[in-house]
Structure 1
Amino acid sequence: MLVLDNILSDRGSKYAVSGAPCGSTAEARALIDELRKTKKFAKATHNSWGLICGEGQVKNDDGESGAGMIILRMLEREGLKDHLVVVTRWYGGKHLGGDRFRHVQTAVRAYLDAIA
């Protein structure tokens, strides 16, 4: 799994993005469980993810409402299938409002650029 850590920081919140080739929801959950074995990621506030595979579009906001849909839209726009993308956020104590959606986009873009 490719992990890009500390890619963005805003008002105390920190972001990372991770991903790997993945063909099913079960495989996605296994990859996320593996990511959470790292203490830092286990303590994250949110591990939102998206995956487009043979099962269709699968997402999980993990409490970051709307984040999974943003990830899916970006994967769809890129035509990237069978690839899991996880955006991790450590909450910094201040609400980010709509900026959090831009930050999810920034994180996914950083990942897509890294694998290009």
Structure 2
Amino acid sequence: MRQLKGVVSDRGSTYAVSGGMAQDRAEVDDFLKALKKDKKFARATHNTWAVLLRDGTPLKGDDGEAGAGQVILRMLERADLRDHVIVVTRWYGGKKLGGDRFRHVQDCVRLYLEDGAI
């Protein structure tokens, strides 16, 4: 599991990004369970995620942040990254971010992909 913490901060909200191998929904669930063993991630407001399976099957979860899973999925498709789940975590800071929240999700995923350890 790779984690980049404190990637983006805006109006009190903080974002982090994590990722690792996942070849099916059960492995995604295991990854999320392992991530949430860290109490900080378990208490996060949102843990949105997506994975593009080897056969092209898309899976995603918004965890209350409507549309964020789709943003991650689109970026995985563009990168043609398969069997790798990416989770963007948000700790809500008390102020609504509107459309900026999607830009922050993109920034997190971009930094994760550019980090190069995939």
TM (norm. structure 2) is 0.96
Do 1:18 and 1:87's aligned partners in 2 also have CA atoms closer than 8 Å?
yes
Alignment of 1:1-116 (within 5 A): 1-53=1-53, 54=55, 56-115=57-116
| 4+ long deviations beyond 6 Å | none
Measured against aligned partners, the alpha-carbon deviations of 1:35-66 in whole angstroms (never above 9, x if no partner) come to 00001001100000000113710000000000
For the residues of structure 2 that align with 1:37 and 1:90, how far apart are their CA atoms?
16
For the residues of structure 1 that align with 2:93 and 2:76, how far apart are their CA atoms?
27
For the residues of structure 1 that align with 2:92 and 2:8, how far apart are their CA atoms?
12
2:76 aligned partner, one-letter code = L
For the residues of structure 1 that align with 2:39 and 2:56, how far apart are their CA atoms?
30
Measured against aligned partners, the alpha-carbon deviations of 1:59-85 in whole angstroms (never above 9, x if no partner) come to 000000000000000000001000000
TM (norm. structure 1) is 0.97
Secondary structure class of the residue paired with 1:9: strand
Instruction: Give the gaps of 5 or more residues in structure 1.
Output: none
Do 1:24 and 1:55's aligned partners in 2 also have CA atoms closer than 8 Å?
no
1:45 aligned partner, one-letter code = T
Shift of 1:115: 2.6
RMSD between superposed Cα atoms in Å: 1.0
